[in-house]
Structure 1
Amino acid sequence: MFQSLFADPTLLLTFVLVGFAAQLIDGALGMAFGQISSTILVSMGVPPAAASAGVHTAETFTTAVSGISHIAHGNVDWRLFFRIVIPGVIGGVLGAYVLTRIDASTAKPIVLAYLAALGLYLFYRGVMHRHTESRPKIVAPLGFVGGFLDAAGGGGWGAIVTSNLLVQGSNPRKTIGTVNTAEFFLTVTISATFIAALGWKAFTVATFGLLIGGVLAAPFGAWITKRVNPDGLLTFVGALLTATSGFGLYRALS
């Protein structure tokens, strides 16, 4: 298997660079690794289930390093962590199971339109300095929906959970660090579900490249999160969410 992984170094390097850039953004802003990586794989002709399986397999390693880095920098709210991780894992298993058996793409444009609108709202609040912190009330259902859509759509845990927690007034730095740390447990469960359903064929050169690049970038994302002020983080999250969701919506409707 490893001979085939290193058969084309140029292709491997391409995915290493994609993984590095995607994880740097994800670690700093709490979203985008799955969206960026899955979009590239699907555009290259990889079936959605295989693309999601490959991305989540790589994320098992990248989120482990990212989570450790966020914990080291004090970016984790442990009370919030335990409120989202269990329902997130349950939703992730269900989403992975659904994706291996039916086409879950029909709801994708609706979800992307919602996220794009949410991104615009977060961007507005960041620019206008109108983020008032408060403890979020809707957490467990959000974790479940985020886990389900992440597995079924090949990514989206951070976009859904992080953005909605921020809308409820959660602290940006703590939210990003907590959601990233919880994502490790989500990706381990989703990857195991995909491997049980699809076998090890999901572990391709793309998966290996994303894994290498993501692991190298993970520590830097947590460092960036700790040093950017809350309004700046909110603005960046809003801009990124609007851009990625808007592009995904365009592709889904075209």
Structure 2
Amino acid sequence: MNFDLLLYLVLGAVAGGFINGLAGTGTALFALGFYLVVLEPITAVAVVAFMAVLAGIQGLWIVRAQIFNEPRRLLRFVVPGLVGVPLGLLLLGLINASLLRIAIATLLIVYGGYFTFRAALPAFSRKTPLLDAAVGFIGGVLGGAASVSGAIPSMWLSLRPWTKSEMRAVLQPYNMATLCTTVTLLAVKGAYDAVAFQALMVTVPCGLIAAQVGIMVFRRLSDIAFRRLLIGLTLLMGIGIMVSEVL
């Protein structure tokens, strides 16, 4: 392993692990750019997904009480999301994934840009079980069709005036479920070869340590600050998706 490969792997692991620990999402947004410089696309995605799953276990632990307090709320997102992933994969041959990603990016940029610079945050407080399930399902479909499963759930949860732990208790398990599906499908395709294994030997320990740092920062954030973080990540996700499709 040469120095350039090692450097990019460590930088990607630190960036992706930190944001995973901080927000429970956004690992690929911050890590994939580094990995694509030195790895083949399918290997880069495989490494990021696997690292995100392992780092996410730490994030699940810190909100375990909220997960067990509201299991039905979580299942409203996760179950439809898992149903949506294979449907999204089936739609791959029927839709233009690039145009879909551009449309999603535009929505995220408009939403994130609007609320990032507003003093007042949205506050959609009433219970909406059907809408929650629809958001989970759409996220799963978009994950299978365009690899952006967390985009719509992140936007939806940032509308809710919940505590940071309540939001994370939905977002982190949801991302973990879709990522585990991704890892399984990639493993079946043989993506975890010798190159991927070598990369994981570097990225996993670095990512886990960085995630712990992110969790330390998360514990110090106020509920409002965490909502603003999610909105800012929504904007960054939109910009990242748009740049990747346009360039």
Residue of structure 1 aligned with 2:170, choices 178, 193, 209: 178
Return the alpha-carbon distance in structure 2 between the equivalents of residues 132 and 103 of structure 1.
33
Going from structure 1 to structure 2, the CA distance change for 1:54 and 1:152 (only over 3 Å counts) comes to: farther
Task: Tell me the secondary structure at the aligned position of residue 139 of structure 1.
Answer: helix
- Structure 1-normalised TM-score? 0.78
C-alpha contact 1:162 1:176 (8 A) present in aligned 2: no
Q: Which moved more, 1:105-114 or 1:240-249?
A: 240-249
Partner SS, residue 157 of structure 1: coil
Unaligned runs of 5+ in 2: none
Q: 1:168 to 1:236 in 2, by over 3 A?
A: closer
> Unaligned stretches of 5+ in structure 1?
1-6
Q: Which of 41, 45, 57 is the matching residue for 2:50?
A: 57
Instruction: Tell me the matched-pair count.
Output: 243
Find the counterpart in structure 2 of residue 36 from structure 1.
30
Aligned partner of 2:17 in structure 1 is 23
CA offset at residue 85 of structure 1?
A: 1.4
Match of 2:154 in 1: 162
1:217 pairs with one of 210, 222, 242: 210
2:101 maps to: 108
Contact 1:53–1:194 (CA under 8 A) maintained in structure 2: yes
Matched-pair identity in %: 20
Q: Under a length normalisation based on structure 2, what TM-score does the superposition of the two structures give?
A: 0.79
Q: Map Cα deviations across residues 29-63 of structure 1 (whole Å, 9 max, x no partner).
A: 2321022223333455733x444333222222122
Shift of 1:112: 0.8
Secondary structure at the counterpart of residue 128 of structure 1: coil
Q: Please name the residue that 1:67 is paired with.
A: 60
1:12 has 2:3 as partner? no
The reply to whether residue 228 of structure 1 matches residue 221 of structure 2 is yes
Which of 78, 90, 94 aligns to 1:85? It is 78
**Distance in 2 (alpha carbons) for counterparts of 1:100 and 1:195:** 22
Separation of aligned partners in 2, 1:98 and 1:59: 25
Counterpart position of 1:193: 185
What is the CA deviation profile of residues 192-249 of structure 1, one whole-angstrom value per residue up to 9, with x for unaligned ones?
1122134533835444443333222333434433431222122222223213322431
Larger deviation, residues 97-106 vs 165-174: 97-106
Q: Aligned partners of 2:132 and 2:40: how far apart in 1? A: 33
Work out the CA distance in 2 between the residues paired with 1:187 and 1:180. Answer: 10
Given that 2:122 and 2:160 are in contact with CA atoms closer than 8 Å, whether structure 1 keeps it comes out as no
Stretch moving more, 94-103 or 138-147: 94-103
Distance verdict in 2 for CA 1:230–1:199, change over 3 Å: closer
Q: Name the aligned partner's letter for residue 26 of structure 2.
A: A
Distance change (3 Å), C-alpha of 1:130 and 1:244: closer
1:244 aligns with 2:220: no
Query: Residues 90-109 of structure 1, C-alpha deviation per residue, up to 9 Å, x if partnerless?
Result: 33344467669997333111
Letter in 1 for 2:15: A
The residue identity in structure 2 corresponding to 1:252 is: E
Is the contact between residue 75 and residue 174 of structure 1 (CA under 8 Å) also seen in structure 2? yes
Q: Give 1:143's aligned residue.
A: 136
- 1:13-35 superposed Cα distances (whole Å, 9 cap, x missing partner): 53233222222223322321022
Q: Work out whether residues 63 and 165 of structure 2, in 8 Å CA contact, stay in contact via their aligned partners in 1.
A: no
- Shift of the alpha carbon at 1:160? 2.3
